[in-house]
Amino acid sequence: MTFFTDECFIYKANALLEAFDREHQIIPLLDRFEAGTPDTDWLPSIARWSPKPVIICGDARILKNQVERAALKEAKLMFVLLASGWTQTPWHTYAWKIIKVWPRIVEVTSKTLRPTVFEVSVSTLKVEKRFET
């Protein structure tokens, strides 16, 4: 599987995941797009990739903005939202938590057949289905 992390995912966590998970590809947004690229630009672009990546996102605004949410729905991509609190988590805590929950993220997204939005709690590390896109 290929995972694509947005700008709100701590950039150095990409290297951590690559070292931890040698089976899957981790592609940070900043490796393919310029900083500040609008979600409505990169979503349709990565939707054309083969295989389609799973998005790991640290910004819930994409689900609240109607235009961005429509772009996500049209892209038909699996979407994993790191819930509120992840971006304020100190690096040393963020690092062990993302490693601990990563196998569950991979498991859930690999077993899901339809484009779906999942949310990962920073406190419980539960990966919960929110809705299908």
Confidence (pLDDT) at 65? 93
State the Cα–Cα distance between residues 17 and 12, nearest whole angstrom: 9
CB 118 within 8 A of CB 79: yes
Provide the token pair at 29: 């947004």
pLDDT at 132 over 90: no
The domain made up of 2-132 has a fold known as: Rossmann fold (3.40.50)
pLDDT band at residue 124 under the 50/70/90 scheme: very high
Average pLDDT, the chain: 95
Parallel/antiparallel/unpaired status of strands 2-5 and 116-120:
unpaired
Residue 118, both tokens: 């999942």
- CA nearest 3: which of 80, 72, 59, 68? 80
Segment 105-122 shows an average pLDDT of: 96
80 phi and psi angles, rounded to 5 deg: -115, 115
